[in-house]
Structure 1
């Protein structure tokens, strides 16, 4: 089940009155207690793309909404929430997980960018289970393709984030550069490959993410690194390895 936006990932609908109905969720929750729940309208992005979602489901699975919708806040009284800084497509991915319990399959790097935005959204929503599921999907994707600048560009828009997604991204990028590009370039620190050229352009921007990227790649040469995408279990999850909360340990 997927809740798709009508527009591309980096664009937003200009129809502010449009409502994205969670139609498929109605059938799935018809026999459960969420079917009789009040409806919350969530406005996402600068253009305020609207999504109608069962309030009880949001409150039960997401601490962020539990606080905003049940406390003494206008959101709780009006059943309206505004997420002006978020990406509508990322919220659609969040809804897919909310109603189905699974995350979308990542098939392209554009999908990966949406997954990154969804992960960062889940971090603010304090939905650890979603973050871990997304991490598994991201790692599966990068087990069959190489990391480029796509994650770096997303992280640069969210300066200050220091979670597991960033740890994985920097590790995977450093591994891929040394494992693949290093076999092509005579000097791995003076890149000639297209991937390294793109990384160099990003580093030249001088953001804190760029600085972290430089040191991650530089220090990888001194590590006995294993491909981060194939590490088993909970390595990049938001809990200690062996936690009973993780499906890998159940």
Structure 2
């Protein structure tokens, strides 16, 4: 199944086969969607006294600054069948991704310190990930659907990136309904117990794609998906149906009061271990 369509209009990504960080960040406008946190949400009468998004980005950039000052070595990611090249700081990749941490600093780390090949990954999605590493943000010019970014983050074992994509998803579905194609893609590319699967299941239960609110074309696509059966149909049938809807705003999964249910715990090596050169001892929650 192909990935769902992007939620942003396509932007000119250039034709060069070499993407440097300065190019991948060009035109960066932070968050093309309203921040969905409790402080910024229009649905919350008594908000907290700070923006959660700003707090996350501040912590992220502080960590990036510490790493870049002490760990200047870079590596080139060779991505996709056309071998698109993305240059990035090696320690930054490893600190924000357990996958890269194991690949670069684990017991079976590659001996090639200059390049790391990722033939099966999508260059645009990986470029978005690399930009996020430096900024803690997803660019408004990103043409990759947030569900695709979440799946990439899960594959790279980067909970910080999956959570950034998840906030994108929260904001998206406060303004629109999920379509059958996106739901199918998510279930095809996640495993049982996935936070993103749980979000989709809860979204269907509370907003009911067959409740009459989605429109004829979208409902027909959902009916076809339901006829195919599968885990989504089972998950929804065990707790409700595809026809209910009109639940209270605060009960819907994209409401800020429910965000924590769908966010991954942040697991990584403590930054002090990185900077002191301590060996990797496995995943830890911080």
TM-score by length of 1: 0.68
85 and 24 in structure 1: CA distance in 2 versus 1, 3 angstrom threshold:
closer
| 71-80 or 59-68, which deviates more | 71-80
Structure 1 position 198 matched with structure 2 position 214? no
* Equivalent residue number for residue 137 of structure 2: 102
State the shift of 1:229 in Å.
1.4
Residues in 1 aligned to 2:24 and 2:263: alpha-carbon distance in whole angstroms: 28
Select the residue among 155, 172, 178 that pairs with 2:203.
172
The verdict on how the C-alpha distance between 1:137 and 1:165 changes in structure 2, with shifts beyond 3 A counting, is same
Kindly indicate whether structure 1 or structure 2 has the higher relative contact order, using CA contacts under 8 Å at least 6 residues apart.
Answer: 2
The answer for the alignment partner of 1:34 in structure 2 is: 68
2:260 to 213, 234, 244: 234
Tell me by how many angstroms 1:136 deviates.
1.4
Q: Matches of 2:24 and 2:242 in 1, distance apart?
A: 47
8 Å contact kept, 2:137–2:164: yes
Q: CA deviation at 1:145?
A: 1.0
Give yes or no for contact 2:78–2:118 (8 Å, CA) kept in 1.
yes
How big is the alpha-carbon RMSD for the aligned residues of Structure 1 and Structure 2?
A: 3.9
Corresponding residue of 1:22 = 21
Residue 24 of structure 1: CA displacement?
5.7
Match of 2:211 among 182, 201, 204: 182
SS in 2 for 1:96: helix
1:53 Cα deviation (Å)? 1.1
| Alignment match, 2:3 | none
Equivalent pair of 2:206/2:245 in contact (CA under 8 Å) = no
Shift of 1:61: 2.2
Q: Which moved more, 1:213-222 or 1:160-169?
A: 213-222
Deviations 1:111-144 (A, max 9, x none): 5x62212111211222222222221121011101
Q: 3-state DSSP class of the match of 1:82?
A: strand
SS across alignment from 1:6 = coil
Q: TM-score if structure 2 supplies the norm length? A: 0.61
Q: Which runs of 5+ in 1 are unaligned?
A: 8-12, 185-190, 241-250
Task: Give secondary structure in 2 for the equivalent of 1:52.
Answer: strand
Using the alignment, how far apart are the partners of 1:43 and 1:212 within structure 2?
38
Gaps of 5+ in 2: 1-10, 26-60, 267-286
Secondary structure, counterpart of 2:263 in structure 1: coil
In structure 1, the residue corresponding to 2:110 is in which secondary structure?
helix
Q: How many residues align?
A: 216
- Distance change >3 Å, CA 159–CA 39, structure 1 → 2: same
Map Cα deviations across residues 162-188 of structure 1 (whole Å, 9 max, x no partner): 41111112222332226xx5256xxxx
